[in-house]
Amino acid sequence: MVVKKKPEPERPIAKFQCRNCKHTAYRMSAMKVGEIAHGACPKCGGNMEVVSSEEMPKDLAKVEAAVSKNFNVIDFDISDDHMQFEVETDNTKDSFANAYHELSHQGYLAALRKRNSDLMLLVMKFPRMKKDNIWINVGLIFATIATTFLAGYFWLTENNVLEAALFAGALLVILSSHEIGHKIAAWRNGVAATLPYYIPAPTIIGTFGAFIKVKSPIPTKEALVEMGATGPLLGFLFALPVTVVGLVLSKPSCGEVYLPIPILFALFSFARFGMVSYAMNLHPLAFAGLIGMFVTWLNLIPAGQLDGGHVARGLLNVNQHYQLTKWLGIGLMVLGLFWLPLFMWGILILLLFRSPHMGALDDLSPLSQPQKLLAVAAFTVFIICTPIPF
């Protein structure tokens, strides 16, 4: 005898319309046509009236089906531009990953958040992305090659063409490896990102660095940690041999100490010369390595949207990270009383990161062990690249 499975009862769905702003939404509700939900409009706070009990349009129904396939849906509120689901699941990581994958193929993004004690899945249309103009990237890298070479030629090497080229090449390799690390992490995690933008500048090193622009939201805390840590770690790995070779080619000399140097650079310097002083006659490669370590430290400060801020946000909730950002900015301003650039960097952190870091789309699932180890590696590098005065 074959026993047929009893079909699950259909969810009661009602179409609501705000009496004030005419906002329309589909909700899980057994209310009848003409009944009123007082103050239920998410846009204006007005009263919502049940106007029909018809089924949802096909595109919205597909969104609801994708969510219901991966979560136990308790309630929902769906419109063309506003979709939220109260859900339950025993495994937020897998449920979100599967739902995110299905919804992305339909042109939607999903975000998992806590609202009081409720688990909420928010769904929105995927933002349109502008096409990149690669010629801007090409123009900027050639301009940065020129400015770093000129900086080395006129300010660092006493008009030595070969040493200026070595400085420019080594510095650009370190900066490029940093940005390539970010790009690889973005590709691994399905995050749209641009090619690197280099920033030429009339400074003693000829540049303000480089950056890539993230064009789509970061899906998980694991991806957030990976994208924050991979760039600085790869740049640091390239800075190490540049520094060692440069110090071998450097010569000690006497002079006035005027710039803090990274802890690891100081240890390498002590191993090479038996002394620690910025006043030594640094080879251009050693100076490029020093700059690479210092830039790594700046990027790994666990504040705001800096690389270290992404890593810290993967470990902390939104309020904890916001407080950390604020106190780091204040702390750098205090340290800036001894060295002015740190004061300016502290002010920039307080000004640029006044809004909290919203984190990944899935801001609830725990980090896996590899990403925790990656975070430990990133903050270890942050510590050993910290600049100290000598």
- For 20-34, what is the mean pLDDT? 85
- For 110-138, what is the mean pLDDT? 89
pTM over the 0.75 mark: yes
Higher pLDDT, 227 or 30: 227
pLDDT in tens, 198-229: 999 998 899 999 999 998 899 999 999 999 99
Where do the structural domains in the chain lie, given as residue ranges?
13-125, 134-388
- For 107-120, what is the mean pLDDT? 90
160 pLDDT above the threshold of 70:
yes
Higher pLDDT, 166 or 259: 166
Nearest residue to 170 via CA among 152, 183, 185: 152
Q: Which of 67-76, 177-186, 246-255, 262-271 has the lowest mean pLDDT?
A: 246-255
142 pLDDT above the threshold of 60:
yes
Whether 242 contacts 332, CB under 8 Å:
no
Higher pLDDT, 14 or 260: 14
238 pLDDT above the threshold of 50:
yes
Whether 249 contacts 206, CB under 8 Å:
no
- For 152-167, what is the mean pLDDT? 89
pLDDT the model gives residue 8: 44
pLDDT in tens, 362-384: 999 999 999 999 999 999 999 99
161 pLDDT above the threshold of 90:
yes
**pLDDT band of 4, cuts 50, 70, 90:** very low
65 pLDDT above the threshold of 80:
yes
Mean of pLDDT over the chain: 88
For residue 40, count CB atoms less than 10 angstroms from its CB and return exposed for 0-12, middle for 13-18, buried for 19 or more. middle
131 pLDDT above the threshold of 60:
yes
pLDDT the model gives residue 277: 62
